[in-house]
Amino acid sequence: MRKEVVILGLVLLIVIVGAVIGSNYYRTSVQKESVVSNTNNTNSGKPKVSPEVLIRPDSPSLGPADAKVTIVEFLDPECEACAAFGPTVKKIMSENEGKMRLVVRYMPFHPSSMKAAHLLEAAGEEGKFWQTLELIFRKQGEWGEVHGAPLGAAKPDVEKVFEGFAKELGLDVNKVVAAMRDGRYTAKVERDRKDGQTLGVRRTPTFFVNGRELARFSEADLRALIAEEMAK
């Protein structure tokens, strides 16, 4: 009887020790897996992408080239979400003046996006890219495709509208019109489109912060990803 009790006690001891070891192993394994899976991949941003197609030497940019944080925005000038988010981007840049750089890439999805890109590029040659971008966003309803517009509504003459914008901005109107009609910047815009497709851009706006794509489009997530990069 005593021998059976001793054997039973040893069996229970072995079971308990095995359970403790197994629990520790499981906990350690899960923690390691969690650490690995979270490396360079937070709720705000995805892993970094290759820089070769992210920024081109002639891409419009604002802010110092050696800024700690560089935001690359793939936008469509006719995109309503891009226009609505424009003031937010401007505010974030203003709050981080001297510490951030903004780079714009074109990703045209809408009918008049190409002409708008030509207006922007022509304005850029006269040093007025950012003023022009702000204007065409603010007056997007005068020339762009508007969701919820009545069926059969008259479409604006985009070239005429952009001529008016060029005059308002003090641009060389003849050069702007010639650029739109000759397709002077088509190759550049198409290159941006191709780069965007290579990077997996499927919607606008799409943001990359120091090469990390913003996982969720919101001001809070963009600010969180910027803060992460600033803290490095």
Main-chain dihedrals φ then ψ at residue 27, nearest 5 degrees: -65, -45
Place of tokens 């007025």: 128
Residues 6+ apart with CB under 8 A from 13: none
pLDDT of residue 232 exceeding 90 = yes
Cis peptide preceding 108, ω within 30 of 0 = no
One-letter amino acid for residue 71 of the chain: I
More confident residue, 36 or 15: 15
Alpha carbon distance 24, 84 (integer Å): 51
Tokens of 147: 């969701």
Kindly report the length of the chain: 232
Tokens of 215: 């996982």
* Burial of 68 from C-beta contacts in 10 A (0-12 / 13-18 / 19+): middle
pLDDT one-digit tens code per residue, 72-123: 999 999 999 999 999 999 999 999 999 999 999 999 999 999 999 999 999 9
Furthest C-alpha separation in the chain: 109
pLDDT of residue 37 exceeding 70 = no
Main-chain dihedrals φ then ψ at residue 82, nearest 5 degrees: -65, -45
- Residue 71 three-state SS: strand
Q: How confident is the model at residue 46, as a pLDDT?
A: 78
Domains and CATH numbers, the chain: 45-142+156-230 (3.40.30.10)
Q: How confident is the model at residue 116, as a pLDDT?
A: 98
The strand pair at 61-62 and 69-75 is best described as: unpaired
Q: Is the Cα dihedral 47, 48, 53, 56 positive or negative?
A: positive
The pTM of this model reads: 0.79
> How would residue 9 be classed by pLDDT, with cut points 50, 70 and 90?
low
pLDDT of residue 23 exceeding 70 = no
Question: Residue 48's beta-bridge partner residues?
Answer: 212
Q: Are 68 and 230 in contact (CB under 8 A)?
A: yes
Tally of CB atoms within 10 A around 144: 24
